[in-house]
Each structure stands twice: as C-alpha cells, then as structure tokens.
Amino acid sequence: MSELTMTTPVLAAHGVTRKFGATEALRGADLTVGYGEVLAVMGPSGSGKSTLLHCLAGILRPDEGEVWFAGRRTDQLGERARTELRRRSFGFVFQFGQLVPDLPAIENVMLPLLLAGQARAAAREQAAALLAQLELDGLEQRRPGELSGGQAQRVAVARALVIRPEVIFADEPTGSLDSLAGLRVMQLLTGAARAQGATVVLVTHEARVAAYSDREVVVRDGQVTTLATTP
C-alpha cells in the first residue's frame, strides 16, 4: 500500500450541505471512508443517507462543503469530469431497474468495459469470469426478465465490479429481495469487493445487511453520527 493510501481516506465529506427546494437533506455532514473499507450508512427514511451517497459519488453536487476522492477534491469538478470519474473509478448497485432489459446478462456486465473502449472478446472473458464468481455460470445468456430478483441483482453487482472500481456505491442493494436472497447478494458483493480491494459504501436500513460491513455510521437529520461501543 502506498504512503498516500495509508494516510489519506479514499472518500471524505466535510461540512456537506445539500438542499432540495426548501428541504435541507444534508446539514453539514462529515464522513471519511478508508481504503478497502466496507462502510454501512444507516438511518431512518428521509434522514439524508442516499443524498450523502450521491454527493460522495459525484452524482449530486453539494450546495456547501467539500467532497474528496483519493486526495482530490471532486465537488468542484464539472459535469463531464464527474461523469468520467464515475465511469472510471466507481461502481454502482441500486435497489432495482439498472440492467438493460433487452441484453443478456453477460452483455449487461460487458457494457462498462465496452464503454471504456475494451475489445469485445476480452470484455466477454472478464464478464464471464465475474459472473462465475457470483455463482451465475450457465445463466450468461438470460435476459434480466428471465432471472430471479437475486440473480438479477448479482448481475448488477458483476456489472459494478467489472471495471475494478476503487469504490462501489450500493444503495439499498437488497431492498427488493427476500431475506435469504438478500443475504446471498451481500455475501457475494462484499466477498468480491474485498477480493478486489474495493471500498464499499453501502446504504441500508437493514441491520442484517449492515452486519456485512466493517463499520457503520448513522445519518440522522442530515448529519453523520459515528457510533462508538464505549462511552
């Protein structure tokens, strides 16, 4: 690990404020995430946890405060630079609706590689290996509609991981699944991310999902509370 990665958090938010109209979703949120950490962001509905994820990932720009990724400030970047950053360095897993319905599973996973300019054969090979790692071998040619919810979500995980991102942002990734399928997705997601050395920022309201993390923070009224087990 380089000196930079030992001393610098991979992600940081300092005093981040974000409003939607008159509603203040984040009110001076502070957070740092270490390299390779699996962090659970918990909190009640409407507390601002998804907004925090979107600000960290460069999907939203904060109204005030700073966002840093790998020692570089990202909240001041323009739209194009943030899009490029997301495509190169981040992977995303959302609750649902992220796979292209007309494409077979393997082509859904290949998409980010093809967008990055990789040759088709090499992309196919990498996507197939990742699908196998996520226990989806044999299902490569199925379209999302022909997969169970848990299988489709594992395809989404494969697609997020295939570019070997530095950070995976997962927003309620098991929210649409039953308990067992959800746990399997979490097990495979965190296992594969750890194997790649990727950091995971996981937004969830479910304790059993958060139990796959290394650490949790709670977002309450737009601010981040870091929990401590000792007084």
Partner 1 sequence: MNVPGALLGLLEPEPSHGYELKHAYDRYFGSGRQLPYGQVYATLARLERDGRVKAGGTESGGGPERKLYAITDAGVTALESWLGEPERPEPHLQPVLFAKVMLALLSGRPAEEYLDRQRAAHLQRMREVTAGRETNGLAGTLVADYALFHLEADLRWIDLTAATLGPLAKEISR
Pick from 73, 120, 164, 208 the residue near partner 1 by CB under 8 A. 208
**Packing angle of the helix pair 120-133, 105-115 (nearest 10 deg):** 130
Closest separation in Å from C-beta 211 to partner 1: 4
Contact between 57 and 63 (Cβ < 8 Å): no
Q: Determine the number of helices (DSSP H) and then strands (DSSP E) in the chain.
A: 8, 10
User: Three-state SS for 2?
Assistant: coil
Establish if 121 lies at the interface with partner 1 (CB under 8 A): no
Three-class DSSP category at 60 = coil
CA–CA separation, 106 and 201 (whole Å)? 25
Euclidean distance between CA atoms 231 and 94, whole angstroms: 35
> Segment near partner 1 (CB under 8 A), from 51-59, 108-116, 139-147, 207-215?
207-215
Q: Binding of partner 1 at residue 218 (CB under 8 A)?
A: yes
Kindly tell me which residue out of 6, 22, 121, 228 binds partner 1, with binding defined by CB under 8 A.
228
What is the arrangement of strands in the sheet containing 223-226, beginning at the earlier edge strand?
Answer: 90-93, 167-171, 199-203, 38-42, 215-220, 223-226
Check residue 203 for interaction with partner 1 (CB under 8 A): no
Taking the least distance from each CB to partner 1, the nearer of 39 and 110 is 39
When asked if residue 207 is in the footprint of partner 1 (CB under 8 A), the reply is: yes
Nearer to partner 1, 29 or 109 (CB): 29
Binds partner 1 by CB under 8 A, chosen from 2, 80, 145, 229: 229
Q: Does 135 bind partner 1 (CB under 8 A)?
A: no
- 212 binds partner 1 per the rule CB under 8 A: yes
Interface size with partner 1, residues (CB under 8 A): 15
Residues whose CB is less than 8 angstroms from the CB of residue 211 and which lie 6 or more positions away in sequence, other chains included? none
Beta strands in the chain (DSSP E): 11-20, 23-33, 38-42, 64-69, 72-73, 90-93, 167-171, 199-203, 215-220, 223-226
- Minimum Å gap between C-beta 157 and partner 1 is 18
Residue 210 in the binding site for partner 1 (CB under 8 A): yes
**Site residues for partner 1, window 42-101 (CB under 8 A)?**
44
Q: Is-contact 87 160, C-beta < 8 A?
A: no
Q: Is 174 in the site for partner 1 (CB under 8 A)?
A: no
* Interface pick for partner 1 out of 9, 128, 216, 224 (rule CB under 8 A): 216
Q: Interface residues with partner 1 (CB under 8 A)?
A: 44, 207-208, 210-213, 216, 218, 225, 227-231
